[in-house]
Amino acid sequence: MTIGGCSLIELANTYGTPLYVFDDNTIRERCKTFIHEFRSRYPETHVAYASKAFINQKLTSILSEEGMGMDVVSLGEFIAAKQGGMDPGKIHLHGNNKSPEELEYVISNNIGRIIIDNFDEIENLSNIIKSKNCSIKALIRISPGVDPHTHSYISTGILDSKFGFAIETGDAEKAIKKCLEIDGLDLLGIHCHIGSQIFEIEPYNDAMDISVNFAVNMANRYNFKLSEISIGGGFAIAYTQNENPPSVKEYAEIITNALKNACASNNIELPKLIIEPGRAIAGPSGVAIYRVGSIKDIPNIRKYVSVDGGMGDNIRPALYESEYEAVVLNKIDQENTEIVTIAGKYCESGDILIKDINLPHIEKNDLICIPASGAYCIPMSSNYNMNLKPAVILVQDGKSEIIRKRETYDDILSLEVF
Known catalytic residues?
347
Euclidean distance between CA atoms 69 and 275, whole angstroms: 10
What are the start-end ranges of the E strands in 222-301? Answer: 228-232, 272-275, 286-298
Rounded distance, CA 67 to CA 47, Å? 8
Contact 167, 142 (CB under 8 A): yes
- 259: Cβ contacts below 8 Å, ≥ 6 apart: 42, 208, 212, 229, 231, 270, 271, 273
Residues β-bridged to residue 295: 305
3-class DSSP state of 39: helix
Q: How far is CA 72 from the centre of its chain?
A: 10
The candidate with the shortest Cα–Cα distance to 290, out of 365, 347, 198, is 365
Q: How many CB atoms lie within 10 A of CB 2?
A: 13
Side-chain half-sphere CA neighbours of 156 within 13 A: 21
Stated as kind and residue range, the H or E segment containing 294 is: strand 286-298
Residues 6 or more apart in contact with residue 391 via CB below 8 angstroms: 15, 16, 19, 20, 402, 404, 405, 406
Q: Residues with Cβ < 8 Å from 140, sequence gap 6 or more?
A: 115, 116, 165, 172, 175, 176, 179, 187, 189, 190, 191
H runs (alpha helix) in 113-247: 119-132, 171-180, 202-221
